[in-house]
Chain A
Amino acid sequence: MSQVPVTVLTGYLGAGKTTLLNRILTEQHGKKYAVIVNEFGEIGIDNDLIVDTDEEVFEMNNGCICCTVRGDLIRILGGLMKRKDKFDAILVETTGLADPSPVVQTFFVDDDVKERTKLDSITTVVDAKHVLDRLKDTKEAAEQIAFADQIILNKTDLVTEDELKRVERRIRELNPLAPIHRTERCAIALDKVMGQGAFDLQRLLDLEPELLNPERDDHEHSSDIASVSLTAKTPLDGDKVTNWLRTLLADRGQDILRAKGILDIKDKEERLVFQAVHMVMDGDFGKQWKDGEKRFSRIVFIGRNLDEAELERAFKACIA
């Protein structure tokens, strides 16, 4: 049975999520999209493709992993899957103040959700005019950017090119990997929003250029969220590196929002690709290294209070 892709749409209040949802619901795109919203009143459209819900974040006790999930989402996705007409994609809007982790973890933790749907991307809408202020006075705005697989930088018509560049630099500090799409009134082709396959490990390799050369900044960290990227040019010991990642995520997973990596493992012809959201990690062997290709390992962590020196030391200890 095929899995319906689900895009999680985050973004601070007023960033333009509702504009994007309205477009998805009203444009002639020949696709059938369901939209799960929390601020129903704002949409102003009433049809059976819109599902209204109250975010219900539950703690789930699964052996040693204790994580939060969205209980309402488990029920609603299950209900949507019972319908006669199948959906091309589903969009989940999170409230402006929400931490994105529970919604993302729902897709890794619940078996029924995993069986029938797959997380396509976390897309964050950012208000170019107000984001720098929001980053100063809230913690959610930074989390939403740090979590994103891609960013829609909206309301670009309200700021100058210089201001835009400053905003983009600030976004890059929080998240060096997510592509940034500049928009006015969220005017972006919907196939750029959906069908990204950001959690598909094989497509993680498309990120290779960014992973290899993440845009780095001058490290004037104005919030506790930042990214750390680690590189090794000689092969890693497969057991050591997987044990390290497992232990690291178990111990520090609360603070690690996202991690993505491409690894060169000793005696393996394929790249080991992995990605993680908090404590849940998914990894597999991907594309083969070509003959004569320059092999490397690169991991990018995005999180809170990351100790770069300590991560670097532990990573280097995994070199074979």
Chain B
Amino acid sequence: MPTPKITAGRQWRFDAPIVACVFDAEGQGAFALGDGTLRTFTPDAAETQTIEAHQSATLALTAHPEGGFLSGGDDGRLVHSVPGETPRELLKIKSRWIENVAAASETGLIACTAGKDVHLLHDGQVSVFTHASTAAGVAFDPKGRRLAVAHYNGASLWWAKSADQQAKLLEWKGSHIAVTWSPDGRFLLTSMQESALHGWRIEDAADMRMSGYPSKIKSMAWDRRGRTLFTAGADRVVGWPFTGRGGPMGRDPMQIGPEREAMIQAVAAHPEADIVAAGTSDGAVWFEEIGDPGTNFVMLNAAKITALAFSPEGTHLAIGDEEGNGAVVPLT
């Protein structure tokens, strides 16, 4: 197969692995790097700006509800970074890594994981929710009022603003390592160490098993209408339908994209069109319109793609790999 190089857009070579990339609501982008920095950019600029957010590696990144970026690092710090400003430390936890962060744009709430604890920041206060095992993933529900935490043997649900509560425990045997809510708030999905997805219908905690993946699912993305969950973990993108009361139960997933040998590592869904993008273990990135198999295909480098994000209006796709190659490609 020919391997077209990226011809348009910008490319950078950083000297540390790219861990994540994200755009904030205003369309500023950021790469999080293993040297503790964020490299921020606007899609048309030639250069990135460097923000020294962490001392060692940045481990997690998301958009901050007030603009700019929220990151966690292996220095135990939770940091809010805005390009052109000094990064602001929101939290510092001794001898723990902050491996996951989440933010709710609706309520402005922020959460992060540190070991077994989830720290929730609200109105200048910090609440701590403790679990029996490490909190391996955290996500706010679409209204920003409830928090889901993935851990060993299931997930816990916490109300963001309620004191003295017991978590609602959704149990399923095994190690759950990431979590996402369906955009209508009806379903909660986790990725598992055992290379499977697990789901619960929130109203009655009904279980859903989605298995058959050859490797761990490291990336999940909802389509713009919230009807399909696109997942990595196989040689093509696997999309599960979440329409109807039962979601994917008893239905086949769709498989999207070219058949190649490399595993999909990262997926992203276009915010305004039925387009899904995927990055693979051999450094390829493709995007395809659902139902229209003409695949657009580029090769970043030979290294594993670790980060993929569409800009808020879908005009650009940001790509990062584990060797520090970053790119922003315009979609025309």
* B is a partner of A: yes
User: Which A residues have a C-beta under 8 Å from some C-beta of B?
Assistant: 40, 48, 51-52, 54, 56, 58-62, 69, 71-72, 74-76, 79, 81-84, 110-112
Judge whether B96 and A52 touch: CB under 8 Å: yes
- Give 1 or 0 for each of B83-100: 1 = CB within 8 Å of chain A CB: 000000000000111010
User: Which B residues have a C-beta under 8 Å from some C-beta of A?
Assistant: 15-17, 19, 33-36, 55-57, 59, 74-75, 95-97, 99, 115-116, 133-134, 136, 152, 173-175, 193-194, 215-216
Secondary structure class of chain B's binding surface, majority of residues: loop
**CA distance in complex: A60, B17 (Å):** 29
Q: List 5 A-B contacts (CB under 8 A).
A: A48-B55, A56-B152, A82-B19, A83-B17, A111-B216
Q: Which of B34, B74, B75, B193 contacts A60 (CB 8 A)?
A: B193
Judge whether B95 and A52 touch: CB under 8 Å: yes
User: Which B residues are CB-close (under 8 A) to A61?
Assistant: 173-174, 194
Smallest Cβ distance from B246 to chain A, in angstroms?
Answer: 25
Q: Which of A54, A60, A111, A112 contacts B115 (CB 8 A)?
A: A54
User: Which A residues are CB-close (under 8 A) to B35?
Assistant: 83-84
Judge whether B56 and A48 touch: CB under 8 Å: yes
Q: A79-B74, A82-B17 are in contact. Are A74 and B193 (CB under 8 A)?
A: yes
Judge whether A71 and B133 touch: CB under 8 Å: yes
Smallest Cβ distance from A117 to chain B, in angstroms?
Answer: 14
Judge whether B133 and A56 touch: CB under 8 Å: yes
User: Which B residues are CB-close (under 8 A) to A48?
Assistant: 55-56, 74-75
User: Which A residues are CB-close (under 8 A) to B36?
Assistant: 84
Judge whether B174 and A60 touch: CB under 8 Å: yes
Judge whether A84 and B175 touch: CB under 8 Å: no
Q: Which of B16, B95, B116, B133 contacts A40 (CB 8 A)?
A: B95
Judge whether B34 and A82 touch: CB under 8 Å: yes
User: Which A residues are CB-close (under 8 A) to B19?
Assistant: 82
**CA distance in complex: A72, B74 (Å):** 14
Q: In the complex, given contacts A56-B133, A71-B133, what are 19 additional A-B residue pairs having Cβ atoms less than 8 angstroms apart?
A: A48-B55, A48-B56, A48-B75, A54-B116, A56-B152, A58-B174, A60-B175, A61-B173, A61-B194, A71-B134, A71-B136, A71-B152, A71-B193, A75-B99, A79-B97, A82-B19, A82-B59, A83-B35, A84-B34
User: Which A residues are CB-close (under 8 A) to B99?
Assistant: 75, 79
Smallest Cβ distance from B54 to chain A, in angstroms?
Answer: 10
User: Which B residues are CB-close (under 8 A) to A83?
Assistant: 16-17, 34-35, 56-57, 74
